[in-house]
Amino acid sequence: MLPEFGYGVLLVSFIVTVYSGFAAVFGVTRKSATLVESARRAQLLTFPLLTAASGSLIYLLVNNHYEVSFVYEVTSRSMPTYLKVTAWWGGQAGSLLFWSWLLALFTSAVTLRKWDRDLEFLPWVIVVSSVTLTFFVGMVAFYENPFTRFWDIGGQVAPSLFAPSANAVLFTPEDGRGLNPLLRHPGMVIHPPMLYLGFVSFVIPYAFAMAALITGRTDDRWIRITRRWTLWAWLFLSLGLVLGGRWAYDVLGWGGYWGWDPVEIAAFMPWLTGTAFLHSVMIQEKRGLLKHWNMVLIILTYALVIFGTFLTRSGVLSSVHAFANSPIGPLFMSFVSLTLIVSVRLLIQRWPELRSETEMKSMLSREAFFLFNNLLFMGILIVCFWGVISPLASELFTGTKITVGPPYYERATGPLFAGLLFLMAIAPLSAWGHSTIQTLGRALWKSALAASLLTLGLVITYTTNPYALTGFFLIAFVLFATLHEFWRGANARMRSQNENFFAALGRLMGRNRRRYGGYIIHISMALMAIGILGIEIFQIETQGTVAAGESLNLGDYRVEYRELASWDDFGAGVNYTRSVVDIYENGVYIGKLHPRIDYYYESQQNMTIPGQHATFKDDLYILLVDWQPVSHEGATFKIFVNPLVNWLWIGCLVFLFGLIFAAWPDKDPADEPVRRKVGVAGRQASAAD
């Protein structure tokens, strides 16, 4: 029986994972290379074992084994095969197995690297990753078992892996409930895997950081080893957030992309600390500074990854993204607390050995600006964390659950995001070690002047809103300053190498992928900020009921209702109700849109599909809200005009390109020379190498 096989493999995976951790500890304490190697091989074995368990579940999903409760809850006969496969992470038990499978993949991959220079790290990396994997596999095996089946006991159906009594008979429903319609959007099919990839990838840098603390390696070796892991973790997590925003914009039917939902914020918080970490590790590599801070950031990132998973899985928060109430919440909190306590204890123990090698001598230096950047990220993190946790704390201590909505987050984070934009413009043009107001002024005055002239043009042609103008000035400042940096570097190479501009720029970027990939990411952030400003400040909306041939007006647009049709697709189990509207801009006909509502009979849920007309200037976004089901003489529409919002999606594409460019393999960063402490000990260590 496949469910028993899948569950048996899960149990074996759990035992092997526990063995891996204990063997690594005993191996290092007893100085037994054989035990450490045994631990490494055991960790490698977890991936094929969990692959077998996952493959068993996928087979059950695809082949309609509705006697398995998880299959019944997330699939139905009307669903296409690809959706049945992606239903693997569409429910709680399956998503935890998916999390475990990804972590086994990554921990196995990292143990396959060359460990010649870093043998002291190996057992402790195995221990930390095994502890994390043990927790998640244990959750699946003992609390959220995806292989539980239905049993009929005298007319009562109960879930259990094995027959609960001698007279129990396996019960197979004729069909399943089917996946939530909101999860059938392409963005939502890809969104969870991207988030999980980001979450799981951050476990690897954390494991190396803990190994560095345990072994007393206070140089930047662990950072160089994990640099690419961190970049890819940030890439996946960023993609997950972006895809979630696009899913919300296309499916949830409220005309926006980000609602400051608690579970959205739970995924956003480790992105904040991960972004701060990516910036501050450059300071440690270049100047030997912020060693304590980098350890704090990676510990926070790991803790927030587990905390975010807890918020989604426990059901303690009310969210469109969250799963139902679950008994695993206290276990998650206990694990987060335990790992945080142990990590902080290790950090305190090694605190004196993590002293900076140099001092920060100028508040206008690049390292100082990077530190300010980090502090702003931490400010946003505090705002977000308090907004998520305060309703829970209020309910726990007062019995009343308060509501924290978007206005709180927007007012509190707006100035902090503005500060980040300002630093994004000036930090790349500052010097390591020391800068002055004069040198910064010479580097920035042209960009500031160009941004000022552009802002003046916006005052004349577009808006006088002071918040919008401040935002547009900062965005223009970032764009002009970053582009000027590209021009300055290419121009210097043109003179020195006698190359044309494009050849010089290409070779310059190719030899400095990390730096210029970061600049491209800065440009993408500025483009995204254009879209965010546009929709947040200038969005307009209207709603009305009109008969066929009548119109609704909003801004420069006129929307004329033509007709409505409703039909069933019994094979898919869906009723489609689609309207046809003509749209005019300033009296000129520009085409038809087809907003619709899809009703899924299995889950008895609607999915709203907007009609969208997208341009660089704005996005006309039309929702079918209601209609007269018999006469079809009237329909209710909600219409939004979202100015500049498509720059958000353009920025996302540029962001993806910049991240891939920065993370693209060239020289392995782990092979780069390690920064040593200044002094006799450092010279001796360098000589020994």
Whole-number percent of the chain with pLDDT over 90 = 55
Residue 68 has pLDDT above 90, yes or no: yes
Whole-number CA gyration radius for the chain: 28
pLDDT digits (tens, 9 = 90+) for 599-645: 988 778 888 899 999 999 999 999 999 887 654 568 999 999 999 99
How high is the mean pLDDT of the chain? Answer: 88
User: What is the distance between the alpha carbons of residues 362 and 78, in angstroms, rounded to a whole number?
Assistant: 65
- Please report, for the chain, how many H helices and E strands are present, in that order: 20, 13
User: What is the distance between the alpha carbons of residues 268 and 311, in angstroms, rounded to a whole number?
Assistant: 12
Yes or no: say if 181 and 605 are a contact pair by the CB < 8 Å rule.
yes
Residue 220 sits at φ, ψ, to 5 deg, of -100, 20
Q: What is the CATH number of the domain that holds 594?
A: 2.60.98
Evaluate whether residue 409 is within a structural domain.
Answer: no
Residue 353 has pLDDT above 60, yes or no: yes
Residue 456 has pLDDT above 90, yes or no: yes
Question: 395 or 9, which is more confident?
Answer: 9
For the chain, how many residues are written?
A: 689
Residue 143 has pLDDT above 60, yes or no: yes
Q: Give the range among 420-434, 599-613, 659-673 with minimum mean pLDDT.
A: 659-673
683 pLDDT band, cuts 50/70/90, is very low
pLDDT digits (tens, 9 = 90+) for 544-554: 999 989 999 99
User: What is the distance between the alpha carbons of residues 68 and 193, in angstroms, rounded to a whole number?
Assistant: 23
Evaluate whether residue 257 is within a structural domain.
Answer: no
Evaluate whether residue 614 is within a structural domain.
Answer: yes
270 pLDDT band, cuts 50/70/90, is very high
Picking from 147, 167, 184, the residue at the C-terminal end of a domain is 147
3-state secondary structure of 166: coil
Dihedral of CA 269/273/274/279: which sign? positive
Evaluate whether residue 35 is within a structural domain.
Answer: yes
Evaluate whether residue 408 is within a structural domain.
Answer: no
Evaluate whether residue 467 is within a structural domain.
Answer: no
Q: Measured in whole angstroms, how far is the alpha carbon of residue 81 from the centre of its chain? A: 26
The pLDDT value given to residue 45: 96
Q: What secondary structure does DSSP assign to 6-19, as a single string?
A: HHHHHHHHHHHHHH
Evaluate whether residue 349 is within a structural domain.
Answer: no
The candidate with the shortest Cα–Cα distance to 239, out of 189, 195, 188, is 195
Which domain does 69 fall in, by range? 1-147
> What's the Cα-to-Cα distance from 70 to each of 40, 76, 322, 411, 442, rounded to whole Å?
33, 11, 17, 42, 64
The pLDDT value given to residue 572: 78
Segments of 213-326 assigned E as strands: none
How much is the pTM? 0.89
Yes or no: say if 129 and 226 are a contact pair by the CB < 8 Å rule.
no
User: What is the distance between the alpha carbons of residues 338 and 8, in angstroms, rounded to a whole number?
Assistant: 29
User: What is the distance between the alpha carbons of residues 549 and 418, in angstroms, rounded to a whole number?
Assistant: 46
Residue 9 has pLDDT above 90, yes or no: yes
Segments of 548-677 assigned E as strands: 551-554, 557-569, 574-585, 588-593, 596-600, 605-609, 611-614, 618-627, 634-643
Q: What is the count of structural domains for the chain? A: 2
Residue 321 has pLDDT above 90, yes or no: no
User: What is the distance between the alpha carbons of residues 503 and 597, in angstroms, rounded to a whole number?
Assistant: 52
Evaluate whether residue 153 is within a structural domain.
Answer: no
- Report the range out of 71-80, 338-347, 401-410, 490-499 with the highest average pLDDT: 338-347
The pLDDT value given to residue 389: 87
Picking from 147, 163, 178, the residue at the C-terminal end of a domain is 147
